[in-house]
């Protein structure tokens, strides 16, 4: 039987970590080198460090960052293949799933780099399924603004870029959309949805552990509803339209591979592609801003170093002045000074 890989696709801050951990309910292995929990994600990221590092390296190869807006295209994917990343990705993936029946992998960069990973998954000879992690883009944008100081409008466009890559890249594949808020509110329904879509079996004990330990209402630091997004004047209409379509798919159980749904996705993608050149322009500006900030940080470091040297010199001068003052007020100095003045009077 072919190894079964489940890939979680979604934007950063979209609940991808919770979705990833949920796959343990189906007996899925999540990797052998997991990224540790931290203050940003106390319950864990559940993503494999080796895959993260490979994705970071490929983005760097394309002179891109995790927060860039321009979609990675077919030409970028071809370049990565030519640079040897296809072979490396296939080897890494094969090593990660060796002797595993079901494996789950998550990294938001999968969505960003999906034109490349689609080639990998096509070549790997394994059964590949996809979960599209969905969260209200207003919640995502607010979270990014708080954590990374990313402007809300930019956060919206980042959400759209990840979503469109995920939707168009997985067309015709085995896939399901899972809403983060619904997973928190009613995990049983969402887990049954995944089980049905991928013909998986739910482990009752693992399910109870998942619900008692990892499903936490307090994880929803922002809890905006669809009406909040609709009423936000800073949110582009294309994003509102995309989110509404995805909500219909996730809420009503619509088949994401139905003809009318695919047509709606393609219509949205056509609109999205019309602004892709603007997104590239924004990324170029971001690169220049980063370069300027790096120069500023370097100058600030030099200034701090010079300020430290000046402080040390001031301390040295102050120390010398104190020594001179002690000498001038000493009895010996006063005697020597009087003798010196007397000698000046006697000698011509």
| Mean pLDDT lowest among 71-80, 170-179, 295-304 | 295-304
Looking at residue 108, its pLDDT comes to 93
For residue 280, tell me if it sits in a domain: no
C-alpha span between 220 and 140 (Å, rounded): 11
pLDDT tops 60 at residue 220: no
Looking at residue 160, its pLDDT comes to 93
The beta strand positions in 108-248, using DSSP E, are 127-134, 174-179
For residue 316, tell me if it sits in a domain: yes
**296 with 250, same domain?**
no
Where are the alpha helices (H) located in 231-330, listed in sequence order? 237-252, 259-274, 276-328
Looking at residue 285, its pLDDT comes to 67
- Short-list 204, 190, 175, CA closest to 26: 204
pLDDT tops 90 at residue 42: no
**217 with 314, same domain?**
no
**CATH number, domain at 244?**
3.40.50.300
**HSE on the CB side for 241, CA within 13 Å?**
13
Phi-psi region of 59 (alpha: psi -120 to 50; beta: other; left: phi over 0): alpha
The number of distinct structural domains making up the chain is: 2
Looking at residue 203, its pLDDT comes to 96
**11 with 147, same domain?**
yes
For residue 92, tell me if it sits in a domain: yes
Phi-psi region of 4 (alpha: psi -120 to 50; beta: other; left: phi over 0): beta
What is the percentage of the chain residues whose pLDDT exceeds 90? 56
**63 with 109, same domain?**
yes
Q: What is the mean pLDDT of residues 280-289?
A: 68
C-alpha span between 47 and 40 (Å, rounded): 14
What pTM does this model have? 0.79
Task: Write out pLDDT tens, residues 88-109.
Answer: 999 999 999 998 999 999 999 9
Looking at residue 16, its pLDDT comes to 92
Q: Length of the chain in residues, anyone?
A: 348
pLDDT tops 90 at residue 21: yes
pLDDT tops 70 at residue 141: yes
- Residue 34 DSSP symbol: B
Domain that holds residue 316: 292-346
Looking at residue 206, its pLDDT comes to 95
**329 with 186, same domain?**
no
Burial grade of 11 (CB within 10 A; 0-12, 13-18, 19 or more): buried
**102 with 155, same domain?**
yes
**201 with 167, same domain?**
yes
């Amino acid at each position: 039987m072919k190894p079964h890989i489940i890939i979680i696709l979604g934007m950063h801050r979209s609940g991808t970590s919770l979705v990833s951990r949920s796959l343990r309910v189906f007996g899925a292995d999540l990797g052998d080198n997991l990224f540790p929990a931290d203050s940003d994600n106390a319950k864990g990221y559940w993503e494999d460090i080796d895959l993260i590092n490979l994705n970071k390296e490929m983005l760097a190869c394309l002179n891109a960052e995790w927060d860039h807006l321009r979609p990675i295209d077919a030409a970028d994917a071809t370049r990565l293949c030519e640079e040897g990343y296809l072979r490396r990705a296939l080897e890494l993936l094969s090593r990660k799933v060796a002797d595993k029946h079901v494996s789950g992998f998550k990294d938001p960069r999968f969505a960003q780099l999906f034109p490349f990973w689609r080639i990998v998954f096509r070549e790997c000879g394994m059964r590949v399924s996809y979960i599209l992690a969905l969260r209200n883009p207003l919640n995502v944008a607010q979270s990014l603004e708080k954590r990374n100081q990313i402007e809300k409008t930019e956060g919206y466009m980042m959400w759209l870029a990840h979503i469109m890559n995920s939707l168009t890249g997985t067309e015709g594949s085995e896939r399901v959309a899972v809403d983060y808020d619904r997973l928190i509110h009613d995990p049983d329904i969402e887990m049954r949805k995944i089980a049905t879509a991928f013909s998986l079996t739910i482990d009752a004990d693992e399910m109870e552990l998942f619900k008692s330990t990892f499903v936490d209402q307090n994880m929803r630091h922002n809890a905006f509803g669809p009406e909040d997004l609709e009423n936000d004047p800073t949110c582009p209409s294309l994003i509102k339209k995309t989110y509404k379509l995805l909500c219909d798919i996730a809420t009503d159980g619509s088949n994401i591979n139905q003809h009318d749904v695919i047509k709606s996705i393609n219509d949205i993608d056509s609109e999205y592609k019309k602004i892709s050149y603007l997104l590239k322009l924004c990324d170029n500006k971001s690169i220049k801003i980063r370069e300027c900030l790096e120069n500023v940080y370097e100058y600030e470091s030099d200034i701090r170093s010079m300020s430290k040297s000046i402080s040390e010199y001031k301390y040295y001068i102050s120390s010398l002045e104190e020594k001179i003052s002690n000498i001038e007020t000493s009895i010996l100095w006063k005697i020597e000074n009087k003798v010196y003045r007397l000698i000046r009077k006697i000698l011509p």
